[in-house]
Structure 1
Amino acid sequence: MASPRVQRSRRSEGDAHRRGREHGRSRNSDGERDGRGRARDSDRDEAAVRRRSEDDGRDGARRGGRERSSDREEREKWETRTRVKDEAKEPRSVENVFKRERGDEAAMEDLSSKRVKVEPGDIENEDRDGDEAKEIPRSKDDSIALMEQAEAALEAKEQAKEKASFEYTGKLAAETNKVSGIALQFTEPPEARQPSVRWRLYVFKDGAPLEDPLFIHRQSCYLFGRERKVADIPIDHPSCSKQHAVIQYRLIEKEVDGLMSKKIRPYVMDLGSTNKTFLNGEAVEPQRYYELFEKDTLKFGNSSREYVLLHENSA
């Protein structure tokens, strides 16, 4: 039988061996757990890499599609600009239209297969409730006829445009025919001219001259009336109108000794006065020109004054 010291030594060695085995098992289990964790981390990393690669592929496809779409738009814009320039250079005709579409013979052959869109309301027996446009086949001759009609209509429209006219019409004068804020009842005609002969009016009352003669050769027309703001020759009799009558010089063409010649002649016109204008004792019609001659006599309304027309060479 061993001594107590030997027994204690053996027990100590057994405890050491047991602790060593337990420590080894603990290390093995920790290693297994670490290995499984590392495997799981590796799987997650691989899945993330695959997802990133797939996302990059989809983004690249979308960018490529956008770039291809942009290229198509740029090409279409360039083709449109080129076509517009070509159309501006070439004269508009049916043949040129066919050539620009698809080529001369190819376009002519393809006309029979083209279909023309007709909007609702263009056909008499169409379905009024339909919203979509209908298509009807057109023959080659019909298409040519339609294009010729369109071309003829365009030419007629261009010919119908009026060219700018700078001739005197009197419309501007009528719109701005005011003096001192008072609208004139008379507008000079296009043939109005200043006379070259020095015409004069001599004023008489009861056969006696009243004052110096009135010189009426310095302008193309002279207005008679009670409105002193606009009248060139005021007449103050109460029976006379504010704008009573006018003497107008006009350039007219007359026959003299069998030859046509232009002369500036004086005319009188009543402006629709209440008590009329009298030429050599006879009332004249309103708004109508009457030619005046040397020694003619004018009277206005019920005034007793007489205006005798003479010129510097009158006898």
Structure 2
Amino acid sequence: MKDERRNRERTDTQHKRERNGYREQSGNMDSHYERGTSSGGRGRKGDAQNFREQREDREYYDDQRRRNRRKAELRNDGENQNSDKSHEKANKGKEGEKEKPNFQLSGALVEDTNTFRGVVIKYNEPPESRIPKKRWRLYPFKNDTPLPVMYIHRQSAYLLGRQRKIADIPIDHPSCSKQHAVLQYRLVEYTRADGAAGRRVKPYIIDLGSANGTFLNNQRVEPQRFYELKEKDVLKFGFSSREYVVLHESSDTSEVDGADEEDDEGIDS
């Protein structure tokens, strides 16, 4: 019993000491917290002031950027309006002028391309293309040796080139291009003997930008331009020795009678 009492007294004493120590510790912590709070209050006030200054600076610069952006937009709008006005004046000036007639052969090709047998053709026929009523012919010669006659009146255009898959008139010499030139019939205006205006279908040759050129009467023609063909004109392509004499059914063929005419069934290659 005595031992139990002693143990209880020791336990109570120990508990009292622990409670007193906790209170002392809590008091020290409260005093430390109060000191920290008083010094921290001053820190938070400084941070708040800095934050306000930074926010004011941001608002100021944002406002400046908005003003600059607005000025740039107004300046661009003014430039666009001036540009539109200048275009309107230019268009009005053009409308007031009458278009002058152009009698030059431009040789301009249609921008669209067409495909034949899987190959893109570099040439499109112009709107004035027509099939001729006059029966034109080509009399080819190789080193003064006559070759079979070519009848070229059943189509409005004939493509000449090394690519036999698409060429109407094949020219096999290696110096010739795959799509070398085109013989084109065109309905054009002319002046009759009495001064009246008339229209007639005439043959023309146009080089399609070949590497080694097309020659009309031994003169190289400019590419992408129509050249009128007349009776007894001579055509050559590239460095080929073959010559093609242009004649028609009413021509005097006494000079080319050595050529054996094939029956009129189509173009002979």
TM-score of the superposed pair, with normalisation by structure 1: 0.44
Gapped regions of structure 2 (runs ≥ 5): 1-69, 71-109, 253-269
**CA–CA separation in structure 1 for the residues paired with 2:238 and 2:225:** 17
The answer to whether the 8 A contact 1:179-1:229 is kept is no
Q: Does 1:180 align with 2:117?
A: yes
Q: 2:217 aligns with which of 276, 280, 296?
A: 280
Matched to 2:239, the amino acid is N
Q: Does 1:216 align with 2:152?
A: yes
Q: Does 1:238 align with 2:238?
A: no
Structure-2 residue corresponding to 1:266 = 203
**CA–CA separation in structure 2 for the residues paired with 1:175 and 1:247:** 19
Which structure: larger Rg?
Answer: 1
Shift of 1:259: 1.5
Q: Report the number of matched residues.
A: 144
Shift of 1:292: 0.3
Question: CA deviation digits over 1:147-185, x for unaligned, max 9?
Answer: xxxxxxxxxxxxxxxxxxxxxxxxxx8646100111111
Shift of 1:188: 0.2
Shift of 1:206: 1.3
Matched to 1:225, the amino acid is G
Q: 1:229 aligns with which of 161, 165, 174?
A: 165
The answer to whether the 8 A contact 2:113-2:124 is kept is no
Structure 1's 304 and 176: CA in aligned 2 closer, same or farther, altered over 3 A? closer
Gapped regions of structure 1 (runs ≥ 5): 1-127, 129-172
TM-score of the superposed pair, with normalisation by structure 2: 0.52
Shift of 1:266: 0.2
Q: Deviating runs (4+, > 6 A) in structure 1?
A: none
Pick 1 or 2: higher relative contact order, CA cutoff 8 A, min separation 6. Answer: 2
Identity %: 62
State the SS of the aligned residue for 2:239: coil
Structure-1 residue corresponding to 2:139 = 202
Shift of 1:217: 0.2
**CA–CA separation in structure 2 for the residues paired with 1:250 and 1:183:** 23
State the SS of the aligned residue for 1:204: strand
**CA–CA separation in structure 2 for the residues paired with 1:233 and 1:300:** 12
Matched to 1:264, the amino acid is V
Structure-2 residue corresponding to 1:312 = 249
